[in-house]
Structures are given as C-alpha cells and as structure tokens.
Amino acid sequence: MQVVTSTDDLAQLCQEIAGHDFVTVDTEFLREQTFWPKLCLVQLAAPGIEAIVDPLAAGLKLDPLWELMADPNIVKVFHAARQDIEIVWIQAGRIPAPLFDTQVAAMVCGFGDSVSYGNLVKKITGKDIDKSSRFTDWSRRPLSEKQLVYALGDVTYLRQVYQTLKAQLDTTGRHGWLDEEMAVLTTPSTYETQPEDSWKRLKLRVKNRKALSVLMELAAWRERLAQGQDVPRQRIMKDEALYDIANQAPTAPEQLSQLRSLSDGFSRSARAREIVEAVKRGLDRDLKAVPPLRQGEPLTAEATATVELLKVLLKSAAARHGVAPRLIADTSDLERIASHEEPDVAAMHGWRRQLFGEDALLLKRGELALSLKQGEVTVHRINSR
C-alpha cells in the first residue's frame, strides 16, 4: 500500500494509473461541522496499483489527480458516486468522466435497490469487509495502519466488482440503460448550490403561497450565510424556525420575540433585522411567479387500487428482466400513471417503457390481466372486441 504525501509522488502515481483503462476511486470526508465537505483521503486502485492520497499533507497539490479525473481514456469507477463527485466538483470544478457507478450498474444487473458496497462485494467476491473503522475521524493524523487498510478496501474490491458488472452488461447489452442515471451524475447543475434554489430542499410546511414566497427568501438568506461562513445550515437557523417565520411573516424585529422557535433575545440581534428584510422581500414578490403548493391530493379509490396492481406488475417485470424495481419506477411514478391520461414519467420512455410502461398502460385500460402460476405472477393480454 502506497500513501502519497507529495505532489511529485502523486504525479508519478497518476502517470502509472494512466496506463490502464480504469481506476477505482473513493473519498473520505467530513462535513458535520462545515457547509463544504472537507476532503481527508482519496483512495485509488487500478490493476496492480493500490494507493491512498493524503490531501491534508503539507504542500501536496492535487492538480495531477484532477487531471486524471478528467482523462477521457480512463473510466472512473465509484460506488454511490454522487458525494464523491460533488467533492471533485467543489475542489476542482470538474466532473470525473467517463464515469461508472457500480451501485447503479448493480441495480441494472439485478442486485437489488441501492445495494451497499459491503453487500455487493460479498455477493460478487464472497469477501466480508471489516467495518470497524467506519466512523473514523478521517481528519485526525496520524492514521493507523488499520484505518488505512480499511479505507483502501473501498477501492481494492471495487476492481473485481466493476469487471464483473461490466462483463454482465456486455453480455446483456444493457450499457445504454445506465445512460440516463449517468447523465444526472455528470451534470454540473446536480452539484451546484444556488441560494435561490435552496427552498427546494425543505418540506414546505407553510400554509399558503404567500408563506412559501417568504420561505424562499428565508432559505436563500440562510444558504448565503452558511456558505459564506462554511457552517451547516442548521447552525444558522433550524428548519422549524424558517417555517414558523414564513407562516407568521413578522415585519418588525420585535415581532420575532413572539415565536417559540426562536431563543429569548433573538429579536434584538443583527440577524433579526436581516430576517425581517428577507420577510419583506418575500411579501413583495409577485405571487404569480411563486410556484403553487403541492398539497398531495389524495388518490381516488380507483386510482389507489390501480397503484396496487401496478406495484405487482412492476415487481413481476423487474424479476423477469433481472433489474431493480426502483430503477424502472417509484411509487410517485405509479401514482401518476394511475391518475393521469398521459403521465410524463421515466417509466413511459425508452427501455423502461418496453419493460414496464406499455404493460402498465394496458393494465390501466383493462387490457391486461395478472394471475398466479406456481407462486409466480404471470401477465396475460386480454383480447378486446
């Protein structure tokens, strides 16, 4: 195992990796006390190569690593890649490409929904991963040999996992099934954190569109402060306090003292004045430009029954084709199919429509029947005249 602590050694390592067609990658980071993730380790493995890069080493510059992540001739293999890619995007303004996410590939290959790395390794290699160092503080130095071995295990077994899944995709011709998921992971907007969009992260516990308008301004205010001070959002203000303020819409600092979600004396702080200004901006918005609240209207009895049948059909299709059900459709997709004439959901496009969507529409129209045969669901087309 090589532990890289200098820029020259990192450049040499990346040059060696560049001689292969893929590299497995994982990161260890902390973000409990910060807004931006703090990169603590980068683990890399290729055929015959196993290394750990220490980003906290004095004088180490990660430029060779970022160049490697952008090399179009080397597939970057991650498991559950989203957070790892976010770190590369934040640190280097780049997205690793070409990209292969083994968690997504495993769903396509029938290993279940969002299978964990440990379970996938066990199923493919038969190996058990030691999880005793899982909750390590990766920012502390020095790291023990046990911690380093644990960290490296996140990429060494990934080589065989990748090769197995790739071979299965080659055999089944399902590489194209990954394209949609990979497109989301490789789109910069997936990782951009615009303050104006931060309200979309919230549960929208507000009573009307005017309150939502205020909440949008409050969420943007909190996001800007959290990013600027590099602290978690909740340290600036709890979500519950945002909902409370949005619903009450106080237009003077002293009115904040009436809210139970805020501490005594908060109304006299400088932050109280900032909040009042955010509230006023929200109240001044043109409500026509504020999106309507989605109240989640209850399904009709007929639609509810249809959803239950669609769930059975979905499980049957997924089992028949050896793919995780959630990759085809989720519950909200099924509800839209059941309650809309022309539902615009992923299950109605591409390979998903071939596997499930067409049959879902037939079932909804009463042109498809489900039955049990030897404990398995079978599908029958009904001839209508």
Q: What is the pLDDT of residues 133-162, one digit of tens each?
A: 778 899 999 999 999 999 999 999 999 999
- 2-190: CATH topology: Nucleotidyltransferase; domain 5 (3.30.420)
Both structure tokens of 320: 């028949």
What is the pTM (predicted TM-score) of this model? 0.87
What mean pLDDT is predicted for residues 302-319? 94
The whole-number pLDDT of residue 294 equals: 67
Chain center to CA of 257: 38
For the ranges 112-116, 183-187, 317-321, 381-385, the lowest mean pLDDT is seen at 381-385
Tell me the mean pLDDT in the region 125-136: 85
For residues 316 and 322, give the distance between their C-alpha atoms in angstroms, rounded to a whole number.
10
| Model confidence pLDDT, tens digit, residues 195-237 | 999 999 998 899 999 999 999 999 999 999 999 999 999 999 9
Task: Please report, for the chain, the start and end positions of each structural domain, with discontinuous segments joined by +.
Answer: 2-190, 195-289, 301-381
Strand-strand pairing, 368-373 and 99-101: unpaired
**pLDDT 10s digits, 205-214:** 999 999 999 9
pLDDT digits (tens, 9 = 90+) for 1-18: 899 999 999 999 999 999
Q: Do the domains 195-289 and 2-190 match in fold? A: no
| Each residue's pLDDT tens digit, 28-84 | 999 999 999 999 999 999 999 999 999 999 999 999 999 999 999 999 999 999 999
The pLDDT assigned to 297 comes to 62
Q: Which CATH class is domain 301-381?
A: mainly alpha
The CATH number that domain 195-289 falls under is 1.10.150.80
For tokens 């380790």, name the residue: 41
DSSP string computed for 315-374: HHHHHHHT--HHHH--HHHHHHHHH-SS--SGGGSHHHIIIIIHHHHHHHTT-EEEEEET
Beta-bridge mates of residue 39: 29
Q: What is the DSSP letter of 36?
A: S
Partners of 23 in beta bridges = 76
Q: Percent of the chain beyond pLDDT 70? A: 98
In terms of Cα–Cα distance, which of 290, 310, 323 is closest to 210?
290
Q: What type of residue is 227?
A: Q
Contact 238, 244 (CB under 8 A): no
pLDDT at 107: 94
Give the span between the Cα atoms of 192 and 181, in whole angstroms.
Answer: 18
pLDDT at 130: 82
- Please name the amino acid found at residue 319: A
* Six token digits for residue 181: 């998921």
